[in-house]
Structure 1
Amino acid sequence: MADTAGFGLGEVVVLLAAGVVAVPLFRRLGLGSVLGYLAAGLAIGPFGLRFFTDAESLLHTAELGVVMFLFIIGLEMRPSKLWKLRRQIFGLGAAQVLTCGVLLTGVGWLAGLPPAVAAVGAMGFVLSSTAVIMQMLDEGGERNSDEGQRGVAILLLEDLAIVPLLALVALWAAFNGGGSAEPVPVWQSIGIAIAGLAAVIAAGRWLLDPLFGLIARAGAREVLTAAALFVVLGSALFMQSVGLSMAMGAFLAGVLLSESNYRHQLEADIEPFRGILLGLFFLSVGMSLNLATVLGEWRMVVGGVVAFMVVKAIGIYTVARLAGSDHAAAAHRSALFAQGGEFAFVLYGAALAVGLFDPRISAVMTAIVILSMALTPIVMIVQRRVQRDAPVSLDGIDEAKDLSGRVLFIGFGRFAQVATQVLLARGVEMSLIETDVDMIRAAGNFGFKIYYGDGTRLDVLHASGAGRAEAILVCVDKPEAADHIVELCRSEFPLAKLYVRAFDRGHSLRLIKAGVDYQIRETFESALEFGRTVLTGLGYADEQAKDAVEDVRERDEQRVELELVGGVSEARRLMRGNLPTPQPEPFFPAKPGKVRDPATASRP
């Protein structure tokens, strides 16, 4: 329909529509937004509905999304934090790149490729996709976890690795008779890159903060946004000119501004551009998948995807285990990093330009990388499911057996951790069971003896001493699991008092109907205390604040009683009739006269 040279409003609408339709659908199916963007790009690209015929040009523009993503990551990486990661960057990252590079070079060589071609193809695949990995870490809420920070460190090393790899492409081409120009000496490329890094660091240290201060004092809000974009794109362009990646330049600019007074403003200004352009990047990658190459060379493409992903995953897992990671963390990292990435396009393009790759090999290797990126969300889903279903390692953990505590705790999350303190203060003998082995080990470091046991199983309840306990305290996180435990305990251990942590009002009603001795919503009392403190902080007298809390508590009890008798809709109707003014549920205002205006209230 159009190519990117004639990029107009119609094409913008098509791109937005593709993302708006595909991403929510794929997320609803549990496949993630990355796969949604890739599928949408394939559908509207030159091998689908042909709304676009020049995916490569769009890809170059969309790479700015990755650039801005790295800038925002840099804003969260203060220099001190980055310094703490130095061993993981240059140790773990280098070990992973070198190990996987050697293994994948061997795969290419066994497939019949010349050694130099096999090495370049392998090293391109070794450079994992920063965009895919960071997006999946964000969606899983893992970016700031320890494992997430290790992933960031490895990605930084891979960004740095592009410089010597591009220089080696020129050398390999010369040795193999390819290329028409004299290759730039490796020492010269590295020297230029180091000088460029020093220039960016100097500018960030002495120029950026004063520049933003000057613009902020001028009061031009839109100019501050323009300045943020200028810094990101300018740093990226300068780094590219000295042989480093644009993403590395943007990341470095973010790190240099991470301690700036304008850090949060910059993040807010860049975030909308980052999100849109990153989505555009994934769309353009999907468009770039050459289906003609995949179909014509399907044996080589499919075999390459499987062999490269499997061998790379094995290399990553081995390095992770040798570095001290447990099985779960190593398996997770293997699945996350098993794909090729956007830097492969740069490396393969350079190899094609100097004659090291022929067009066929370049097209096949590019298709392998794109398919591996598309498969990563599926691989992660499979890995999580296998991890969840795999037998739990109980090394150093005792299973529940012949326990005899006066009180049985089922679940030891944040709620139970506080509740146990009260009982411990009076020396009450307790038995505690939990299914989260990490929680059990962590609690053991603080002197808690917790046994492994699933409270939803009747045999485990018997082994945990539920038949001898005076009270059973159900403190699990999932309401469905709590309901099942209550049903088992009411049927099999009727003499034990049953105290249950409720998730919300609906869960409380179910527990009351099930006949538990006591239930409480996990946040209800703490939220009331929070509100009371706010009132006193605003100048209301202590007695007034307490009256307001008691009024809310009474109204909540009335509503629960009404819902038990007449159902939710009837309770809403009757309670609204008692309210002085209509209010959104579940909030019920204090009775008239109990709380006065702060201006007239007596202050403490």
Structure 2
Amino acid sequence: MEHGLLVHILAMLVIAIIAIALLRRIGLPPILAYLLTGVVSGPAGFHWFTQHQMHSVAELGVVLLMFTLGLEFSVPKLWSMRRTVFGLGSMQMTITALIAGGMALLVGQGMVAAIVIGSVIALSSTAIVLKLLNEQGWLRRRHGELSISVLLFQDLAVIPLLILLPLLATDGSQVSFRELAWGLFTGILAFIALMSFGKWVLPRIFDEVARSRTNELFVLSTLVVALVTGAFTQWLGLSMALGAFIAGMLLGESQYRRQLEADIRPFRDLLMGLFFISIGMLLDFGLVIQYWWQILLTLVVVLFTKVAVVFGLLRLAGENAKVALSSALSLGQVGEFSFVVLALAVNYQLLAAEVSTILVAVAVLSMSIAPWLVRHSIDIAERFVGHIAKQNQQLEQADFPVIEQQSDLVIILGYGRVGQTISRFLKTEDVPYLVLDLDPKRVSEAKAAGEPVYFGDACRMSILKQAGIRKANLVVVTFGEPRQAEEALSLCRKLAPETKILVRTKDDEYLGELKEAGATQVIPESLEGSLMLVSQVLYKCGVPLPRIIKRLESERRNHYQYLHGFFTGAETDFTLDTMHAVPLPSGATVVGRELSSIPWRSLGVELRAIRRRGEEVNSPTKDWVLAKNDILMLVGKPRSIEKAEEYLLQN
């Protein structure tokens, strides 16, 4: 019996490997391969396993998925996007769930089933959409940001669903509003209690674990924390996934977030694969064939409803038709968390087998279509709203004046604080310039003052052509938002390959990407402010001006090397590079070795300088021989610095 079970497990894994390889070749997500494996190895196929047999192991996959989701959950990020997350996200979830739930009631489903169906259909796939947006380079575009905001709220909305579903399982008895409210209140109290307890205890536990410098202990501690918090919430009558999410969220703000995520990913991916295999076992092909037309009709209705709701909300919020439709198409599919909700609903007997089969089939088909829809969302949007774009283009051409082309013309994109400052200095030097801005009030005020400022979207090719970008000497991109600057930059470089383009940013986070996109020079405002302060300090200290200018230009060429890597303090952001001094004792094995023999790249750190007998040598040569009492100045992430220090100090 045990031998047969082992053979079945191996056969199931082989099927999963082949299915993943084949589906990846045609651009479909691995989730579909796992679902197909579940169909083949479950009751509808060879019947090697039942869904019940897979449930316990598969539930661990959901627990680890929610733990990693908690690690990614950032309260500051959520607050910075609160308008779109809580405004657009909540409206999308509410309206879509109400429409889907209402349709379920009309076809004869009960109230509890309608709530589950509405929740399942309202969710979209975070994993698929984020991956595809990242592949296309659309994460910082407007439709990408809007899609991420909605997905972020949906991930957040899973939490009350995890609390609600166990409360709806009343063995057929009528659930009262008081019982429901009390259950939700209990869940919220448990949430707050766990957060309060974990905020002080968990970071201290992982501080001790990190000091041991044992990777096995780190991985084991991560798994234990996720499972223990999950077991605690299950003991309270809630789901295990809720406790794991809380634990992840508490550790997400710590310095160990990235290490925790990296350590737990292999376990999460494997167990999530088993979870989706168990979902595939829910598919009964007999029922799929019996209800094939209902499945296809439901798929069409779901896609149309979700796209229409998001499109309508974004148009009401003032977004243009192209952005609204491309965002809506990206969110049209049913998501992986829908499978989590469906699995819990089937486990608690909240849905009939026929309904769950139809919903699983609809979710699988919608996720199969999702990659094509996301990749072609902009093309589809342009085609559907093409007549509107043509009308707008005609209006823009009518309103935009003919500009006299000049070889030394400077085009400024954006007329905010930075754009206005640049234009004032250009005016004093009699340098011809032209400005594009999208704020109608600012444009009208500037025009009334006689400024060459015109209303126009700098991310539109037709506007840039009319502004004469091909004959401009210089283009200055002053937008504060990176995604807008990158989009305008790519268009400018496409239209004017030889024109010099300067891009202003807040910091150098996207410096490499902007350089690759075609920027002649990127000016990070915060770092340039630091350099200006340094230049004044050096000048007041008597350093010659030519030497100061040479030093500043060197910093710019080296991508602001000396403006990164600082000694850490109590309030330091541990996601940034830090500097750490490592004195070499006489017993260290690296004493007497050349710098070239040390694997700095694999250690993940940079040797910034060496102090010897009170003197500092910046950027020492590769043939430098280390001596005892040398102090090495290392720059890198905290975890990498710990690893490097352990390597350098070993006896």
Report the TM range for the smaller structure's normalisation: 0.5 to 0.7
Q: What pairs up with 1:73-112 in 2 under 5 angstroms?
A: 73-82=69-78, 92-112=88-108
| CA distances 1:522-579 after superposition (whole Å, capped 9, x unpaired) | 56999xxx9xx9xxxxxxxx99xx9xx99xx9xxxxxxxxxxxxxxxxxxxxxxxxxx
Verify the 8 A CA contact 2:411 2:433 in the aligned structure 1: no
CA distance in 1, matches of 2:346, 2:124: 20
Verify the 8 A CA contact 2:32 2:364 in the aligned structure 1: no
Q: Which amino acid aligns with 2:366?
A: S
What is the match of residue 207 of structure 1?
201
| CA distances 1:398-450 after superposition (whole Å, capped 9, x unpaired) | 7654112424568959xx999x88966733213467xxx98x99997998646
Residue 208 of structure 1, CA deviation = 0.6
Q: What pairs up with 1:142-181 in 2 under 5 angstroms?
A: 142=139, 145=145, 147-168=147-168, 170=170, 173-175=172-174
What is the match of residue 232 of structure 2?
238
Residue 48 of structure 1, CA deviation = 8.9
What is the match of residue 403 of structure 1?
403
Residue 227 of structure 1, CA deviation = 0.8
Query: Cα–Cα, structure 1 residues 478 and 442, in superposed 2: closer, same or farther, change >3 Å?
Result: farther
- Bigger drift between 377-386 and 73-82 goes to 73-82
Q: Which amino acid aligns with 2:363?
A: V
Residue 201 of structure 1, CA deviation = 1.0
Verify the 8 A CA contact 1:120 1:169 in the aligned structure 2: no
| CA distances 1:460-488 after superposition (whole Å, capped 9, x unpaired) | 85x54689x686879998999967767xx
RMSD: 5.6
CA distance in 2, matches of 1:89, 1:454: 24
Where do 5+ consecutive residues of structure 1 fail to align? 177-181, 487-497, 503-519, 534-541, 554-594
CA distance in 1, matches of 2:201, 2:445: 48
What is the match of residue 39 of structure 2?
46
1:428 paired with 2:431, answer yes
Query: Cα–Cα, structure 1 residues 125 and 254, in superposed 2: closer, same or farther, change >3 Å?
Result: same
Q: Which amino acid aligns with 1:222?
A: E
Residue 378 of structure 1, CA deviation = 3.1
CA distance in 1, matches of 2:454, 2:50: 59
Q: Which amino acid aligns with 1:217?
A: R
- Bigger drift between 196-205 and 146-155 goes to 146-155
What is the match of residue 23 of structure 2?
22
Residue 153 of structure 1, CA deviation = 2.3
Verify the 8 A CA contact 1:75 1:258 in the aligned structure 2: yes
Residue 93 of structure 1, CA deviation = 4.5
| Secondary structure of residue in 1 paired with 2:29 | helix
Q: What pairs up with 1:402-551 in 2 under 5 angstroms?
A: 402-406=402-406, 407=408, 426-431=429-434, 449=454, 451=456, 464=467, 499=499, 522=519
Verify the 8 A CA contact 2:90 2:153 in the aligned structure 1: no
CA distance in 2, matches of 1:596, 1:343: 53
1:361 paired with 2:362, answer no
Residue 211 of structure 1, CA deviation = 0.9
| Secondary structure of residue in 1 paired with 2:333 | coil
Verify the 8 A CA contact 2:66 2:242 in the aligned structure 1: yes
Query: Cα–Cα, structure 1 residues 213 and 470, in superposed 2: closer, same or farther, change >3 Å?
Result: closer
What is the match of residue 366 of structure 2?
372
Q: Which amino acid aligns with 2:160?
A: L
TM-score (norm 1): 0.63
CA distance in 2, matches of 1:460, 1:142: 23
1:125 paired with 2:118, answer no
Count of residues paired in the alignment: 497
CA distance in 2, matches of 1:394, 1:356: 51
Residue 257 of structure 1, CA deviation = 1.6
1:37 paired with 2:30, answer yes
Query: Cα–Cα, structure 1 residues 220 and 355, in superposed 2: closer, same or farther, change >3 Å?
Result: closer
Q: Which amino acid aligns with 1:96?
A: Q
Q: Report 1 or 2 for greater relative contact order, CA contacts < 8 Å, sequence distance ≥ 6.
A: 1
What is the match of residue 216 of structure 2?
222
CA distance in 1, matches of 2:29, 2:326: 22
- Bigger drift between 76-85 and 368-377 goes to 76-85
Verify the 8 A CA contact 2:8 2:48 in the aligned structure 1: no
- Bigger drift between 41-50 and 354-363 goes to 41-50
CA distance in 1, matches of 2:18, 2:363: 26
CA distance in 2, matches of 1:220, 1:450: 60
Residue 297 of structure 1, CA deviation = 0.9
Residue 193 of structure 1, CA deviation = 1.6
Verify the 8 A CA contact 1:160 1:244 in the aligned structure 2: no
Query: Cα–Cα, structure 1 residues 364 and 20, in superposed 2: closer, same or farther, change >3 Å?
Result: closer
Q: Which amino acid aligns with 1:403?
A: I
Residue 223 of structure 1, CA deviation = 0.1
Q: Which amino acid aligns with 2:325?
A: A
Where do 5+ consecutive residues of structure 2 fail to align? 447-452, 478-486, 503-516, 532-545, 558-618, 626-651
| CA distances 1:27-79 after superposition (whole Å, capped 9, x unpaired) | xxxx4xxx331443355443499688548455764565554444344334444
Q: 1:315 aligns with which of 294, 309, 312?
A: 309
Q: Which amino acid aligns with 1:40?
A: A
Residue 296 of structure 1, CA deviation = 1.9
| CA distances 1:247-294 after superposition (whole Å, capped 9, x unpaired) | 443332222123324333323323444455556655665675444332
| CA distances 1:89-129 after superposition (whole Å, capped 9, x unpaired) | 66655443332222112322444545654454333323444
CA distance in 2, matches of 1:351, 1:267: 29
Query: Cα–Cα, structure 1 residues 121 and 466, in superposed 2: closer, same or farther, change >3 Å?
Result: closer
Query: Cα–Cα, structure 1 residues 397 and 460, in superposed 2: closer, same or farther, change >3 Å?
Result: closer
Q: Which amino acid aligns with 1:368?
A: V
Query: Cα–Cα, structure 1 residues 302 and 253, in superposed 2: closer, same or farther, change >3 Å?
Result: same
- Bigger drift between 84-93 and 228-237 goes to 84-93
What is the match of residue 270 of structure 1?
264
Q: 2:243 aligns with which of 243, 249, 255?
A: 249
Verify the 8 A CA contact 1:456 1:485 in the aligned structure 2: no
Verify the 8 A CA contact 2:311 2:328 in the aligned structure 1: yes
Residue 298 of structure 1, CA deviation = 0.7
Verify the 8 A CA contact 2:101 2:117 in the aligned structure 1: yes
Residue 156 of structure 1, CA deviation = 0.5
Query: Cα–Cα, structure 1 residues 454 and 156, in superposed 2: closer, same or farther, change >3 Å?
Result: closer
- Bigger drift between 343-352 and 355-364 goes to 343-352
Q: Which amino acid aligns with 2:29?
A: G
CA distance in 2, matches of 1:362, 1:128: 17
| CA distances 1:234-254 after superposition (whole Å, capped 9, x unpaired) | 333433444545444333222
What is the match of residue 338 of structure 1?
332
Query: Cα–Cα, structure 1 residues 137 and 99, in superposed 2: closer, same or farther, change >3 Å?
Result: same
Verify the 8 A CA contact 1:3 1:53 in the aligned structure 2: no
Verify the 8 A CA contact 1:93 1:155 in the aligned structure 2: no
| CA distances 1:310-350 after superposition (whole Å, capped 9, x unpaired) | 22333344445556665455434533443334554565556
CA distance in 2, matches of 1:122, 1:596: 64
Residue 226 of structure 1, CA deviation = 1.2
